[in-house]
Amino acid sequence: MPVVQRLAESGWLPESLKYAFVFNSLVAALILGPVLGGIGTLVVTKRLAFFSQAIGNAALTGVAIGIILGEPYTSPYVSLFSFCIIFGMAMVFTKNRTKMTTDTLIAVFLCISLAIGACILLYVTAKVNVHVLDNVLFGSILTVNELDLNVLFVISFICIFCGLRFYNRMVLSSFNPNLARVRGIKVIFLEYLFILMVTIITVASVKIIGAILVEALLVIPAASARNLSRSMRGFFFYSATFSTLSCVIGIVVPMELEIPVPSGGAIILVAAFFFAVTTAIRWLRRAYPALGKI
Amino acid sequence: MLTKNEDPPHGPSICFEMVGLCLNNITILQDVSFTVKAGNMHCLIGPNGGGKTSLILSLLGQTPHTGRITINWIGGTTIGYVPQVLDFDRTLPITVNNFMTMICQNMPAFIRTRKKYKDIINNALRLVSMDTKGERRLGELSGGEMQRVLFAQALIPFPDLLILDEPGAGIDRGGAKVIEEIMLVLKKQKVTMVWTNHDLKQVRQMADAVTCIHKEVLFSGTPDEVLTTERVFQAFGATSSGP
């Protein structure tokens, strides 16, 4: 950190990096970007985009529970992780037991979570200023501290380790569970593990991107990457790149230009810009096949 | 490619004893008993919805069936399985080579294919005449091409027991011939094959034994013995769906 500060003071790096919160949020962005982009390819492949939204909503309820239980309102991690993990695991458990379609199940759980959150929030507003929740909902780089960074480091390490180790098997399980089982893959275990990965990385992203918008960063970069790539390599690396660039640009640009917007909103708008451009490229390639060779 | 490093493989024999399956209070299979001899190509025929795929899944240990299914392994214990379909978003950028890589190795397919698997994958794809289409997206393949890829994956690693769930469905003539030829080679190598099939002509030509399933075993034996016009009519004519 002091090196970065000195470089910022001497003019080699942007002046804003002098501030610890800016540095913290950029570090967080550089970690979160590739991890969310990478996991996003699995979310899109396994068609679980709405699941991450349900977890995002559960995060809001988790924060509310944390405040009620007396945790610090800037980092109620115990309640956040506990509630979201129970919520995610309950969803997979119910899906496996009832064989209900995923979209119906997610809608049911999403509504339940919001209903609990709405009820508890009434009590929360009596304890803290309700605008505190804006930071949780839409992200704020001002509140990122070292604890958040440490949590992010640990969670990202777990996600990267599990992701690299089980990526192929998770994809195969979604393609044909019977084939996967014949090949010795523990389909149910991997289903729980994947949901756990999405849940913990969602919770770890709440401070930067916000509970409502994390889902977007799991889906939009992967969807943009799909527009451009023809193989898994392109799919994964484009997705990680778009996600990282969205995080960095979404944090740096509003700060440098002094535009007062929540970091989550800005990040997602940048991601949406990538999506629009890549969709246009895909459309042009289809309309003019000669362009596809460029 | 179609050989093992060790002695020639010899597939297992399989014994189905009073196998039953009931899902949501609907009886799918009832008192199914027959034997698949070691190294035989054994076809399962029967009308649609008769329980062939359920019996295959029971054999794979993936249904809560009753009764007993015993696999008496003789040589190795590798099972190859050719499913009917893959359920995936057809716009995904996943190529045939990516899919085959995912089958072979733990290292994510987006990083690279390990050198030792490249030749194995190429050989398997060459056997089904798909080696020139390794960079095609899975979603761009025709039904027949997809079946060939699914067949190719079942050959890695070399199977002792090959289970095929209607591999001929939707396949083109060329593809069917390619797969037939490989199956004949596997038959010579004494790989046990359990194969659900709708093509009775193919069953007569290739199978060592055939069992007709419609909830229960309607008949079982060698094709010459049991595939009489009368029996086939009885099995398929009694239902609206034919062979």
DSSP A85: H
Hey, is the C-beta of A279 within 8 angstroms of any chain B C-beta?
no
Q: What is the pLDDT of residues A36-72, one digit of tens each?
A: 999 999 999 998 888 888 888 888 888 888 888 888 8
Distances (CA, A) of B108 to A42, A178, A207, A257, B155: 12, 21, 30, 40, 21
Task: Give the residue-averaged pLDDT of A18-33.
Answer: 86
**In the structure, what pLDDT confidence band is assigned to residue B57 with cuts at 50, 70 and 90?**
very high
Q: What is the pLDDT of residue B1?
A: 54
| Higher-pLDDT residue of B20, B239 | B20
Q: Which sign, positive or negative, has the C-alpha torsion A182, A184, A188, A192?
A: negative
Q: What is the ipTM of this complex?
A: 0.88
The answer, for A294 touching chain B at a CB cutoff of 8 Å, is no
pLDDT of residue A273: 96
pLDDT above 90 coverage of chain B, percent:
55
Query: What pLDDT does residue A292 have?
Result: 61
Topology classification of domain A2-293: ABC transporter involved in vitamin B12 uptake, BtuC (1.10.3470)
Give me the residue spans of the domains in chain B.
1-78+161-243, 87-157
- Average pLDDT, rounded, for chain A: 88
Task: Name the CATH topology of B1-78+161-243.
Answer: Rossmann fold (3.40.50)
pLDDT band at B149 (very low <50, low <70, confident <90, very high): very high
Is the model's pLDDT at A113 over the cut of 90?
A: no
Query: Both tokens of residue B71?
Result: 């696999």
* Share of residues in chain B with pLDDT > 70 (%): 92
Render A87-115 in DSSP notation, one character per residue. HHHHHHHHHHHH---HHHHHHHHHHHHHH
Candidate from A45, A175, A230 with C-beta closest to B137: A230
pLDDT digits (tens, 9 = 90+) for B106-122: 999 999 999 999 999 99
- Cβ–Cβ contact A230 with B under 8 A: yes
Ranking A144-153, A224-233, A237-246, B165-174 by mean pLDDT, the lowest is B165-174
Asked if B149 and B141 count as a contact pair (C-beta separation under 8 A), the reply is yes
pLDDT at position B242: 44
List pLDDT tens digits, range B76-103. Answer: 899 999 998 888 888 899 999 999 999 9
Domain parsing of chain A, residue ranges? 2-293
Cβ-contact B164, B60 below 8 angstroms? no
Q: What is the mean pLDDT of residues A232-253?
A: 94
Which residue has tokens 């800037």? A74
pLDDT tens digits, residue range A207-222? 878 877 888 889 999 9
**Cβ–Cβ contact A19 with B under 8 A:** no
Average pLDDT value for residue range A159-173: 96
Pick left, alpha or beta for residue B211 (phi over 0 → left; psi -120 to 50 → alpha; otherwise beta): beta
Residue contact B93–A235, C-beta within 8 A = yes
What one-character DSSP code corresponds to residue B12?
A: P
Give me the residue from A45, A168, A176 closest to B92, CB to CB: A45
Q: DSSP alpha helices (H): ranges in chain B?
A: 52-59, 96-104, 115-127, 143-154, 173-188, 200-206, 223-226, 229-232
